[in-house]
Copies of this chain bind each other. A is one copy, B any other.
Amino acid sequence: MSNAESYRGMNVSEFFAKHKEVAGFANPTRAIYQTIRELVENSLDAIDGSEEGRKTIKPHIKVVVEKVEASGRGNEEKTWCKVTVEDNGIGVPYTVMPNAFAKVLFSSKYVLKQARGMYGIGVKAAVLYAQSTTDSGIDVVSSTALLEDVYSRKLRIDTLNNEPIINAYGSWKKPTAWRGTRVSLVIECDWARARSKVLEYMARTALIAPYVQITFQTPEKELYIFPQKTSTIPPPPKEANPHPHGIDVETLKQMLAATKAKTFREFLERDFQSVGKKSSLYFIRELKKKVKEIKEDTPPAEVYQKFNGLLSTIVDMMKTFKFKPPQSNYLSPLGEELIVTSLKSMYKPEWAAAIRRPPRSYQGHPFIVELGMAYGGEIQPSEEPLLLRFANKIPLLYEVGEDVSYKIMKEIDWRQYKVEFPAPLVILVHVVSTKIPYKGVGKESISEVPEVEQEIRNGMLELGRRLREYISSKEREEEVKTKILAVSKYLPEIARSLVVLSKEPHSWKPPKPGEEKEVLLGLIKLVSSHVKLPEKESSEEVIRKILGVKKSGQG
Contact = CB atoms under 8 A, between A and B. Distances in A.
Nearest to A131: B250
A140 interface: no
Contacts of A257: 160
B319 A75 contact: yes
Interface in A292-315: 308-313, 315
A145 interface: yes
A18 B111 CA distance: 12
A112 B550 CA distance: 88
Contact of A438 (B22, B51, B309): B22
Nearest to A10: B105
Given A132-B251, A437-B26, A7 B96 contact: yes
Given A110-B8, A448-B27, A135 B311 contact: yes
Contact of A26 (B14, B401, B448): B448
A224 interface: no
Contact of A440 (B10, B50, B439): B439
A456 interface: no
A133 B11 CA distance: 27
A316 interface: yes
Contacts of A317: 74
B90 A5 contact: yes
B7 A106 contact: yes
Given A7-B99, A249-B135, A439 B22 contact: yes
A198 interface: no
A138 B2 CA distance: 28
Nearest to A11: B105
A4 B312 contact: no
A242 to B, nearest CB: 11
B438 A110 contact: no
A384 interface: no
**Chain A interface helix/strand/loop/mixed:** loop
A441 interface: yes
Contacts of A110: 8, 10
A175 interface: no
A120 B22 CA distance: 14
A441 B9 contact: no
Contacts of A447: 21, 26-27
A399 interface: yes
Nearest to A103: B9
Contacts of A442: 439-440
Interface string A198-234: 0000000000000000000000000000000000000
A108 B257 CA distance: 32
Contacts of A311: 135
A381 interface: no
Contact of A27 (B96, B160, B450): B450
19 contacts: A1-B146, A3-B145, A3-B146, A5-B90, A9-B99, A9-B103, A9-B106, A11-B105, A12-B15, A15-B119, A72-B310, A72-B313, A74-B290, A74-B320, A135-B312, A399-B439, A402-B445, A439-B442, A440-B440
Given A26-B449, A135-B311, 15 more contacts: A3-B51, A3-B52, A8-B106, A9-B105, A9-B120, A10-B110, A22-B440, A26-B447, A72-B291, A72-B313, A73-B316, A135-B315, A401-B401, A401-B402, A440-B442
